[in-house]
Amino acid sequence: MSTDHLNIEFALHQIPERLLDESKNPKPHVHSIEKYNELYQESISNPKEFWGRCAKEFLHWHKPFETVLSGGFEHGDISWFQEGQLNASYNCVDRHAIKDPDKVAIIYEADEPGQDRKITYGQLYRDVCRFANVLKHHGLKKGDTVAIYMPMVPEAVIAFLACARLGAVHSVVFAGFSSEALRDRIKDADSKIVITADEGCRGGKIIHTKKIVDDALKECPNVKRVFVFRRTGSDVPFNPSRDLWWHEEIEKQRPYCPPEIVNAEDPLFILYTSGSTGKPKGVLHTVAGYLLGAAVTFKYVFDYHEGDVHGCMADIGWITGHTYIIYGPLINGATTVLFESTPIYPSPSRYWETVSKHKITQFYTAPTAIRLLRKYGREHVDGHDLSSLRLIGSVGEPIQPEAWEWYNEVVGRNECAIIDTYWQTETGSIIISPFPGAVMTKAGSATVPSFGIDLVILDPLTGQEIKETKAEGVLAIRQPWPSIARTVYNNHDLYLRTYLHRYKGYYFTGDGVGRDSDGYYWIRGRVDDVINVSGHRLSTAEIEAALIIHPSVAEAAVIGVHDDLTGQAVHAFTTLKPHCESTDLGELTLQVRKVIGSFATPKKIYVVKDLPKTRSGKIMRRVLRKVVDGETDQLGDLSTLSNPTLIGPLIEAVKNS
């Protein structure tokens, strides 16, 4: 790997004064670099003491644990707080509803401005109990899986927590996925119940949610019940022998439902994510460890204080929504915003109107949204009262220094903490990020590890740890932390192979990384065949599989290409079957939208005669990448290429497209 850029030292940004001024700001929990170092060192050298203490402080246990950690990376038998028993919904709702029933738990900012709604902890408690009783009445039991395919409405949160109350496992499918993708996820997780809505609204557009569910369920005979929340009230198809209306069912139930007490290591949820294989993986998280990771990072990384309003703009269908809209905030008894719309609806000021209306204190979004708003210009930000903001955060992909500076200056007015947070579905919670109040920042660096995260940089070829401070390699972790995923649903072997056995003794993230002379980490992006479009993690293999379904396509190869707006964009190369002279590119695009969802749509499709392959038949995507980037003089070692004559026509095809 090239190390040229390691010589560039980026300027350190001081901790904004406002953050350290106790007359304007609550004193940060981690208020100095010494404090960070002390806590971090303890968490690494004595993880049992550190996490044992946190587990008692952050969680309510119905039965206390004795063992903090057992098992490890070798067999993937990691278990935290083994003998402990608890309930996630009790921890997120009941204890706050008892203490402060009128405190606002959720601020729902609906797609149309002005239709917002607030839900207190008392109300949330009753709603969760009612809906849990509905599910119980229809036969849902501890350990059963439930698919949730819902827009960003409070009832989605209620659905998560009602499952957790009964010890059931939720498998949330992002509501932008197509019916086929939904079908595959329902089948893989063996969900018998689906919770959905009549329609969704986003950016002024209607999404035909229930219809998509109906299409998916044509091939899911095991789904016996579908609960339909009425979001728009439009006429939608309804199958009376299977479907039930949310509003009719909850009226029948009383708002009390005892929580099912489960073991610390029982599953809390499955969430599908793309890996380098074509099939999405059902990443499984367990109750206690996941909740603890969410709770501790929420408090320390977002520097949560009583009275704060937390605005995470992600979708609940992604891990960011699970951890930092729902579980992290609610475990801490915080007020969390559920944002149904888009950054540009009805205008590019929507975020800032929302911040000033609800006096949001922590604002969290993705680089793709920041780049989009930067493109629209600062006039859409200026003039809005953003004085409530103390911290602004970014997640999902590397943030370019230009975008970081714009965010810091225009949104943060140089007086907010700015946190670039790096983590993954599999890590459950943030693993690299500045601690506001303690860690100085550099534009484009996620900076330092979170508590308990023992980061290492490995040489990708030898798997040896690179001990020098300045280093470049792949990112791995040496010790288990509480919110690490425990398995891939129904495929523990895949879990071991993907994360734990690739480099023996370490958890492997799949990301390339650099470390500068200050010990700051710079995430370079995926080293496997995963593309990141607007923070959506897509696998090249999955998109290729979708293209190949089309009757005229023989082969497909998909690559991620730099894109100013979306970070990466999907470019697809296809070869056609012998009898096909040409094909309708629109149909191919449609194919991807149908099988995966519109967010995976290729930006460009090139029809070529042949794909570059190694002699063993592996497609050389690296060559395709270079050709698209115009770096045809740097195609690298082509000695393994089986058919060197295809390069010329390939370059032509890209040029002429």
* Interacting residues with ligand 6R9 (CB under 6 A): 273, 318-320, 395-398, 420-425, 446, 509-511, 523, 525-526, 532, 535, 537
Q: Show Cβ contacts of residue 265 under 8 Å, excluding neighbours closer than 6 positions.
A: 79, 80, 81, 82, 286, 287, 288, 289, 486
Q: Measured between alpha carbons, how far is 4 from 627 in angstroms, rounded to an integer?
A: 23
Q: What angle do CA 560, 565, 566 make, to 5 degrees?
A: 40
380 or 502, CB closer to ligand 6R9? Answer: 502
Q: Which is nearer to ligand 6R9, 133 or 487 (CB)?
A: 487
Q: Which of 19, 30, 17 is nearest to 447 (CA)?
A: 30
CB of 394 to ligand 6R9, least distance (A): 6
Min separation Cβ 432 and ligand 6R9, Å: 7
Bridge partners of 538? 531
Q: Whose Cβ is closer to ligand 6R9: residue 395's or residue 556's?
A: 395
Q: Shortest Cβ distance from residue 404 to ligand 6R9 (Å)?
A: 11
Long-range residue pairs from 47-53, CB within 8 A, at least 24 positions apart, any chain: 47/452, 47/479, 47/481, 50/451, 50/452, 51/80, 51/292, 51/452, 51/482
Nearer to ligand 6R9, 188 or 420 (CB): 420
In angstroms, give the least distance from the CB of 509 to ligand 6R9.
Answer: 6
For the CB of residue 211, give the shortest distance to ligand 6R9 in the complex, in Å.
Answer: 27
User: 431, 449 in Cβ contact below 8 A?
Assistant: yes
Which residue lies nearer to ligand 6R9 by CB, 126 or 537? Answer: 537
Pairing label, strands 507-515, 471-477: antiparallel
- CB nearer to ligand 6R9: give 280 or 612: 280
Residue 319 or 443: which CB sits closer to ligand 6R9? Answer: 319
Of residues 210 and 486, the one with the C-beta less far from ligand 6R9: 486
Virtual CA dihedral for 165, 168, 171, 175, nearest 10 degrees?
Answer: -50
By beta-carbon proximity to ligand 6R9, the closer residue of 129 and 475 is: 475
Question: In the complex, what is the shortest distance from the CB of residue 536 to ligand 6R9, in angstroms, rounded to a whole number?
Answer: 7
Query: Letter for the amino acid at 409?
Result: E
Q: How far is the CB of 657 from ligand 6R9 (least distance, A)?
A: 28
- Cβ(272)–Cβ(282) under 8 Å? yes
Q: Quick one: which of 506, 553, 552, 508 has its CA closest to 530?
A: 508
How many CA atoms are closer than 13 Å to the CA of 62, on its beta-carbon side?
Answer: 17
- Min dist CB 367 to ligand 6R9, Å, is 8
Residue 398 Cβ, how far from ligand 6R9 at the closest point, in Å? 4
Bond prior to 649 in cis (omega within 30° of 0):
no
Q: State how far the Cα of 497 lies from the Cα of 500, in Å rounded to an integer.
A: 6
Contact 641, 616 (CB under 8 A): no
State in angstroms the smallest separation of the CB of 617 from ligand 6R9: 27
Which of 420, 472 has the CB closer to ligand 6R9? 420
How many Å apart are CA 424 and CA 421, to the nearest integer? 10
Which residue in this structure is represented by tokens 């402080």? 57
Amino acid, single-letter form, for residue 25 = N
